[in-house]
Each structure stands twice: as C-alpha cells, then as structure tokens.
Amino acid sequence: MILRLASQSLMARALTVGMTILAIALSVGLFLGVEKVRTGARASFADTISGTDLIVGARSGSVQLLLYSVFRIGNATNNVTWESYQDIAARPQVDWIVPISLGDSHRQFRVMGTTPAFFDHYQYRGGRSLDIAEGHGLDDLYDAVIGADVAATLGYAVGDPIIVSHGLASFTDHTDQPFRVAGIIAKTGTPVDRTVIVTLQAIEAIHVDWQNGGNTGRSTPVDVIRQMDLTPTAITAALVGVESRLQIFGLQRWINEYPEEPLLAVLPGVALQELWQIVGIAETALIGVSALVVVTALIGMMAMIFSSLNERRREMAIWRAMGARPATILGLLVTEAVLMAALGGALGLILLYVSLFVGQPWIDAAFGIWLPIAPPTLREAWVLGIVMVAAAVVSLFPAIRAYRLSLADGMMVRI
C-alpha cells in the first residue's frame, strides 16, 4: 500500500524527483567510478613488472632500487660489477637474468642499456610480453628501440637518428656515435613507454673516449670501436627469474650476504606494496571527495523533501484526518526517499558501466590504467545499500516535521 502510494506521489512530481534522482545517480556513479579507477590504478601499478622474481642492485633501500630500476626515477647509489653479475648468473637457482645499465638520457627520456633477453623476459600486467609495433629489435650495435611515449612525444619513426646525451642533465651529446630507431614498442602503460633501449655494448661504445665521467678529447672511429671488446665493467641492476619459486628466498639471502660487494635483492611485489603505501594516500583523498559528493546529493534530496512539504501540507493533513497513523506518514516519505535513492543508484551504476565501455580503451592507451568491465562486486552492492539506508535516515527529518504539522494548519485555506 505505502509502496504504491509512494510511487504515485513520485510520478506526480516527476520533474523535481527526476532531477533529484539524476543528482544521486551522478554522485553514485562518480563514487563507484573513483573506486574503479582506484582499484584499476592499483592493479596496473602492481602489474608494472610481473614474472620477475628478484631485482638486484647495489645495497640501498628496496623502494629506491625499485624506483630507479623499474620506474627510471632517481639514481643508483652504486653500480654492480660485471664479475658479481656473472657470479649471480652462474647460481644454479637462476633460470634467467637480464642486466640493466642506466645513466644516460635522450631529451629528458632515460636511456637503458640491456640485452635482447629483456624483450623475452620483461612482462607486465599479469604476464603480457613486450610487443614491437614497428621495426625490429636490437640487431646492430647502434640500434635503439624506443617506447611509445618517446615516439609520440618526439615524433620519431623507424630509421630516424637518435643522439644520446651523457648523464641525465648534461649538455654533452655523443654526437660522434648516433643511434638509429630500429623499433617502436607498442603502448604498455609502464615506464618502458618512456625509455630508449639500447644494448649494453652500445653504452660501453659511446663511453670509449670517456674516463672518470669526463671526455678525454679523443674520437675513436666507429669502425675501430666495433672491433673492440665492449664487455661492460659494471651494470646498474639486474632482473632475475628463478627455476623454482621455492628457491627465491634462498637466492635472495645469498645475494644480500654476497661477500665481494654490498648487494641488495628485493621481491618486486613486496617493494611495490611498500611504494604504494607511500603514494597511496591519494586514493584515500579521492574516496573522501567522492563520498562527500554522495553526501551532498543526499542532503539535496532532503532539502527537496523539505521544500515540497509546504505544497504537501494539505495532503498530509488529509491523511491525518482520515486516521493515518504516525508510521504511515513517516513510512510514506521514507519510502519515497528510498525509492529515489534506489533509482538513482541503479541509474548511476548504468552510467558507470556505459562510461567504462566507452572510455576503457582510451584510458588504457592514454594512461596505462586497465579498468576491467566485470559484474558489480559485493563492495559496490554494499555502497548502493548504504546509500539507500542513508537516504532513509536523512528523510526521517522532513518526515517527522511533516507529521508534526497541525491538522488545523494543514486544512487552513490561505489567501
């Protein structure tokens, strides 16, 4: 009975009720959208590197090692000697190992020296491998494979020349040994997009005429350099995969206790969690802002019910004159509020999934955040339930006021 009356009452005030439902829908959609983005960003952040069991570098902090080796942020405290790298590679627990050498740049993008094995073993987003969208890999000493953001920002195409600069904030360019864009990596949403990848031997080649960080003034011909032994003397870090997951901690302990030089081996997942704890405060702020939007919409609904009471005083007085009990008046207004909240929540959920369907490819391509389109989760159901309960609570205030309107005042004819 009350449900039918509440439905008819809402339809009689379709315009104002519709605007209120739309406000609730937008606020609920925003709140759930922020939740989707938060969980998607966290998952994409955690999937920046996958399939790698250990990251090895000079002894520092686990977050610092992760930042410079994976995210290309900051610098290593020290290098790892090539002999130490070979010792680690020779361990029976190691299935594969990929060296990384950092330190140079190209127009504000980091240059990373590695081996072709990097393209075989680096994985992201739960096991996806790198895909070279154009060109090929590192086939020649002066080949460079660039990330999607490098190509898009600088307008590079396969075959274009690249001049590597010495250091990160240096005005000295290795103009005597230009590289050539051999391939462009498909968009990944990871720091690889902002990286210029060359071989370890190429890093050694461009520094043949450098000693102690300075140019000696010599200019060795490229043909002579190609004939040299370009085995590196040190690297920045290494990515390691083990034969069995049961061997990870044993190998990690061995590396951390390596007697020849101070080294650090970290589990990428653990380091990522530590890093997220540092930067994850932003997600709390986002949730707080979106929750305030929902609260504002509910307050707006309460204000709408209050403002409609003057128009409905005659209606409420007639109900009381006919013997309506307090529960009937209260139940009618509370039911109306719950129906508006339910319709607004359902519409907000529909708007959210339509937006996800339309915006998912663009968000993935532009920001590297994958927002899965999955059925509503239990958490989302709880949010909708809380919104409906909150709507019932805020509607109690105008409902109590409506009941307290006097019968004489309600039946009075105003001129």
State how far the Cα of 179 lies from the Cα of 163, in Å rounded to an integer.
6
Coil, strand or helix: which one is 219? coil
Rounded to the nearest 10°, the torsion over CA 105, 109, 111, 116 is -160
pLDDT of residue 415: 45
3-state secondary structure 99-114: EEEEEEEECCEEEEEE
pLDDT of residue 413: 46
pLDDT of residue 138: 94
State how far the Cα of 233 lies from the Cα of 191, in Å rounded to an integer.
26
Residue-level pLDDT, tens digit, the chain, 415 residues? 667 767 776 777 778 788 888 888 888 888 888 878 877 777 777 788 888 999 999 998 899 999 999 998 888 889 999 999 999 999 999 999 999 999 899 988 999 999 999 999 999 887 889 999 999 999 999 999 999 999 999 999 999 999 998 877 666 888 889 999 999 999 888 899 999 999 999 999 998 887 665 666 677 888 898 998 899 999 999 999 999 888 999 999 999 999 999 999 999 988 888 887 776 677 777 778 777 877 887 787 777 777 776 666 666 767 667 766 767 777 777 888 888 888 988 998 899 899 888 888 887 776 667 777 878 788 788 888 888 888 888 888 877 777 666 444 444 544 4
**96: exposed, middle or buried (Cβ count in 10 Å: 0-12, 13-18, 19+):** middle
Structure tokens at 157: 């195409």
Q: Which residue has the tokens 């979106």?
A: 290
Q: What kind and span of H or E run contains 89?
A: helix 82-89
Locate the domains of the chain by residue range: 2-45+281-411, 54-266
Structure tokens at 106: 């190209």
Query: Which amino acid makes up residue 178?
Result: P
Structure tokens at 225: 């350099």
pLDDT of residue 56: 96
> CA 378: distance to chain centroid?
22
Residue 214 near residue 182 (C-beta atoms within 8 A): no
Structure tokens at 244: 């069995």
State how far the Cα of 360 lies from the Cα of 370, in Å rounded to an integer.
7
